Structures are given as C-alpha cells and as structure tokens.
Structure 1
C-alpha cells in the first residue's frame, strides 16, 4: 500500500491485523521487512501493526531530498493522519527512534499513547565541546569515508558486530545475509544522507519534554550506537522512562534477542 507525502513522494507501508495500532519505524538502510519477527507476534495478540518504508528505502520512492529527521518525522505524521490512527504506540529502531522523537517535537502527542526507542540514535552522537560524552568526530568521519569508498565492504565488516554473534548470539549466516541484502537494496544516496543527518542532530533539549510513556531498549554490546553514548543517556533525559539493557545484544537485537524484546514490548504496550 502507498500514500503521498506533502512533497508528492510516494511511500510504501504495510498494514496487518486489527486492534490498537503499533507503528514500526525502521532503521536507516532497513525497511519494513526488518520487523519480520515482531509483526506476526503482535498481530496474533490482537494488535494492528503498520510498518513504513522510509523514502529511499524498501518499496518507496527515491527522491533526491528529504533524508533529514524533520522530513522523516513529517512523513510519519502524514501516514498516521492518512490512516487516522489514534492511541498509537510508535516503535522506532536506530534512526527510526530519532524520527519518533522528532515527530513528537513537531506534531505533538495527541495521537500517540506511548513510544518505544530501540537501539536509538539519541540523544546526540557526535562529540562536541558541549557534548564531551559523544563519539569523537574523527572516528565518525572515518567510518563515513569508508562507507562512501566501498559500501558493500563496510556493511560486510559490520555484519557480525551488528548482531554481536561473538557473544554467542544465535543468528544464522542466512539471516545475516538477508539483512545485508536489505541494506544493499537501499538507495546509496539515501544511505549517505541519512547517516550524516542522524549523527549530527542534537535531541537533548526535546527529550525532557516528552509527555507520553517511553520505553528504551538497548544492547550493551551495540557498536553502531554505543550504549554509554545513547541508551543510558536517553533514559536519563526522558521523564519516567522504562529502561531495558540487554548485556549481550548488539544493534540488531530485534533479531538476536527477539523473544526478550517482544516480551518487553508486549508488556509495555499492554500497560495502562
């Protein structure tokens, strides 16, 4: 299924089940297919599950612009309004988590019941004079340069760390290959723009203003979004946030720790 955004971009989404809505917002490079182990789980338990393909990703259009977080948040708002969703649980992974936060900052929480931020790229990744806890810029820039130089090589080098298989997580080579193929199918231009935009956005001022229940889930072995820079700091900034840290999880905990994550998310969504 498709809808059009304010600038005429045609975006794809999937919509399954009936009941209270959960909207899944994917990571940069990944699409709605990443939620393969979440959507059936929640549909079978009486929820309506909607998953969006960000512009440049999956089956959506590939325009030349709109890969900033504010446009991503606005695209999400159009989808929610298009389907006239209410009492929504927003679940965002990585860059998707940052877009969820920007959605609340730009569009408010009138339609939103709660949010779950999963391995989210928050609150501010790049180290600056007023953000000494961030990742040094030289490391980020070197990684971006390697991505630009040989994207398939960069992704292949990240694959095992993405699921933290070195810690004994049971993720098959076929699953890893499937995830890599999703990433490689994404518009290279979109990848380049998304990576730069998410690393340099400062959410620290808006996180304390979140007024809906929030759950943060993060892996202690997350190489892409180091937990001491992201998850732990985000949990401290959002009032009353529920925080789950998985000791052996990497960035791809939605696969490697699917049972634990699904149970934690179900408990959170079901809470009143």
Structure 2
C-alpha cells in the first residue's frame, strides 16, 4: 500500500499505476469518497497506456482520519506534496465534485511544467452556497441539513444519498445498481466522520472564482443537466465564463455520479480531450 507521510504526520494513501514514463493523469475524488471512485477511469486509461494516479484526500478513504487541516488550502497543499513526491510533469488533472474544486485550485497554483490540462466533472466551482453575491446557489440550510444528518446517523445518510440523488436513482426511469450504492456507502464509511463533517463547509463555501480566472491551461467542463447535487446552472454554466481556455460539454439527463453510471460515454470523451 503506497502512502506519503506529510510534514504534519498525516499519511496520504495513493495509487500509482502504469508506466512511470507515460503521461500522467491525476484523479481527484468527490466527498465523502476515495480514490476507488475512479476505478472505471483508471482501468480505462491504464489500458490506453497512461500512468494513472489517485489519492484518498486527508480524512477520506485509507488516508489518516484527520481532525484538523480539513480545508481546501490544506487539501491542495497535500496534492502539491504528492505531485512533488512523484515528480509529475505535463499531467492532466481530472476532478469530480469536491475534487473539481481541489483540482482547480491546484492547477491555478501549480509549479510551472506540472500541468498540461484540466477537466472538471460535476464540479463545485465557482461556489455552491447561496448568498447576495451568489443568489442562484444552494441555500445554506441544505448544507446544515447535511451536517445534521451526518452527525445523527452517518451510515443511513450515506445510504440515502447513494440510493437517491447522487446517481439519479430516485428518478422514475432510473436503472438502479445495488452494487454501485453499496460501493459508494463502503467508500464513505471508511473515512473519518469529523473530516467529512468539516468538508461539507469546504465544498459548499469555498469560493473558486479567482482560481478559475487564473487557470491558463485547456480546461474541459463536463456536467449533467440532471445533476441534483451540484446543479448545472449555479456551477458549470458560471465556471465556463471564468475560464480562459474552457470547453463545455453538457450531458442531457445525466446525474451527478455520471462518471460511474455513464463511464462508457464519458471515458472516450475524456480520452479525446486529452489526446487533442
């Protein structure tokens, strides 16, 4: 099991598969999941000759169950430490949901030569929470409800999310995969409750506006227009306007977890963007 021990003692679990001289693709997972959420993408790109890397964010998955440092700047500092440790150059960074925010901030501040391209999938930028400056955002009461449900019964809360809006399994015409729900629940429950609780504020309240403006590499924004977790109008449709070199692809009827439910469609699209 590969881990990187950071200066504060936190251990970050990561996967690093494929030829070490191949072009690297780095995957950033969503809340409250782990590197395992990228299985379909990592196997796909591995089969196409790429080097694929994914880590468990601190407090998530098999990384240390931290009670401090659960904030976006620390998450990004951890990624910087990992990319330095692996000496990744000319990499493509792909982030989903909360991981999209992490990837965006990392790319905006990465050392020269580290990053070639960025992909944001169902990502939280520019900012999720509703405010006077962001009237179309999600009301803070929704995220307060997340915290309340997590503290009261995390196991049931995660089951409800996975079997409902995350994958669109609450839609009348949805084809439900029990294994997908169980795998989401498994990933969530091996992480730390304190870190997951803290991360709700991180993914909902962090403002990525200036990060998006600073990104100077080709960026693909992919979003489902039936995303019930990160609504497209308050996220991707705003992000694309802030990017210097952005491309926007909308997936009609696709849910938040479309990388899993529609990997057969998204993986080839990702490959085409990376090869372009």
TM-score, normalised via structure 2 length: 0.93
Provide the secondary structure at the position in 2 that maps to 1:142. Answer: helix
Unaligned stretches of 5+ residues in structure 2: none
2:226 to 199, 216, 221: 221
Aligned counterpart in structure 1 of residue 248 of structure 2, from 231, 235, 243: 243
Match of 1:45 among 33, 45, 48: 48
1:15 maps to 16
Instruction: Output the CA distance in 2 between the equivalents of 1:106 and 1:240.
Output: 16
Runs of 4+, deviation exceeding 6 Å:
none
Match of 2:133 in 1: 130
Matches of 2:105 and 2:235 in 1, distance apart? 16
The partner residue of 1:163 within 164, 167, 171 is: 167
C-alpha contact 1:32 1:51 (8 A) present in aligned 2:
yes
Q: CA RMSD in A?
A: 1.5
Conservation of the 8 A alpha-carbon contact between 1:222 and 1:251: yes
**C-alpha deviation, 1:133, in angstroms:** 1.9
Residues 27, 54 of structure 2: 8 Å contact kept: yes
SS where residue 62 of structure 1 aligns? coil
Distance, in Å, in 2 between the alignment partners of 1:207 and 1:63 is 28
Q: Which runs of 5+ in 1 are unaligned?
A: none
Whole-angstrom CA distance in 1 between matches of 2:149 and 2:250: 29
- The equivalent position to 2:198 in structure 1, one of 183, 193, 202, is 193
TM-score (ref. length: structure 1)? 0.95
Following TM superposition, by how much is the alpha carbon of 1:181 offset from its aligned partner in structure 2, in angstroms? 1.5
> Paired residues, what number?
271
In 2, Cα distance between the equivalents of 1:71 and 1:113? Answer: 23
